[in-house]
Amino acid sequence: MIELIQDYWLYFLIGQYPNGPLGGLVLTLLLASCGLVLALPLGIVLGLARVSPWRWLRWPVSGFVFVVRGLPLLMVIFWAYFFLPSVTGVKTDQFATMLIALVVFDAAYLAEIVRAGIQGLPRGQMETARALGLSWSRAMRLVVLPQALRSMLPSLVNQFVSTIKETSLGYIIGLAEVSFIATQINTQVFTKPAQVFGILGLTYFILCFGLSRFAYWLERRLARRGLPVVAVTEGRAAARKASA
């Protein structure tokens, strides 16, 4: 076990870098961070469209969110992998493909968190802002959204945990993230599959458990300050509950 870690820790962390492409745990984290950072603005836009007063905007976006949430992430990845290049004519690499799939997929889930956050605020906030003469978009931007985003903070951390877990599916299209590296190590060592995958699991656990404890702490802190919290242990489940 110790020997295994001694031999492969660097490969596990960064892949073949600097002699080859970056990989391993660092790539997992990079992918998850980029995914969340890019998905968040898109998620907010989609979430706003879902609560907007204009039907022509609300319906198609709701349809899109519904379709994406009804599909497995793997399906979205396959579409991005096989279909995007044939439509756009640009051959994207695995990282970009995975990033696109993650952004589209997570944005649909974030849209539901945003929607729940906005609808969780007392209606009086919007009504007061409108009565003061602000337009819908200004009222949303200056009054409703800042409050909603604050109460969504714990959900966002939980979403980051989900995103880290989702990056593991990059394995299927041959992206050298940490799960892929683990199977590579397993093939090289060959005799210790339980240890290799045990270490893989432990790595994810330390990362995700730490982050979800942080989300729990944030939730407590916000609750103490009397802010409404979009109730959550798992971002997704809460968003689903809110939509049911």
Partner 1 sequence: MPLFDYSLLLTGKYHDMLVAGLWLSLQLLAASLVCALPIALVVAMLRLSPLAPLRWLGFAYVESIRNIPLLAHMLFWYFGAPELLPEGVKQWLYAGHIEAYSAIVALSLYTAAFMAEDMRSGIRSIPAVQFEAGRALGFGWLATMRRVVLPQALRVTVPPLISQTLSLWKNTSIATVIGVAELMYQAGQVESATFRSFESFAFASAAYLTVSLAITALATWYHHRFPVRTL
Q: Which residues bind partner 1 (CB under 8 A)?
A: 67, 69-75, 78-79, 82-83, 86, 161, 164-166, 168-169, 171-172, 179, 182-183, 186, 193-198, 200-201, 204-205, 207-209, 212, 233-234, 236-237, 240-241, 244
Question: Which residue's CB is nearer to partner 1, number 146 or number 201?
Answer: 201
Residue 187 CB neighbours (<10 A): 10
Which of 139-142's residues contact partners 24+ apart within 8 Å by CB, and which partners? Answer: 140/48
Question: Which residue's CB is nearer to partner 1, number 156 or number 239?
Answer: 239
Question: Which residue's CB is nearer to partner 1, number 92 or number 147?
Answer: 92
* Distance, first Cα to last Cα, the chain: 47
- 3-state secondary structure (DSSP) of residue 22: strand
Q: How far is the CB of 196 from partner 1 (least distance, A)?
A: 7
Question: Which residue's CB is nearer to partner 1, number 48 or number 161?
Answer: 161
Nearest to 111 by CA among 69, 141, 169, 70: 69
Q: How far is the CB of 160 from partner 1 (least distance, A)?
A: 12
- 3-state secondary structure (DSSP) of residue 175: coil
8 A C-beta contact, residue 20 and residue 14: no
| CA-CA-CA-CA dihedral for 33, 34, 35, 40, to nearest 10 | 90
Helix (H) or strand (E) holding 242: helix 235-243
Q: How far is the CB of 179 from partner 1 (least distance, A)?
A: 6
Kindly report whether the peptide bond that precedes residue 53 is cis, defined as omega within 30 degrees of 0.
Answer: no
Question: Which residue's CB is nearer to partner 1, number 74 or number 121?
Answer: 74
Q: How far is the CB of 71 from partner 1 (least distance, A)?
A: 5
Q: How far is the CB of 163 from partner 1 (least distance, A)?
A: 11
Question: Which residue's CB is nearer to partner 1, number 41 or number 210?
Answer: 210
Q: How far is the CB of 185 from partner 1 (least distance, A)?
A: 11
Nearest to 196 by CA among 184, 210, 209, 208: 184
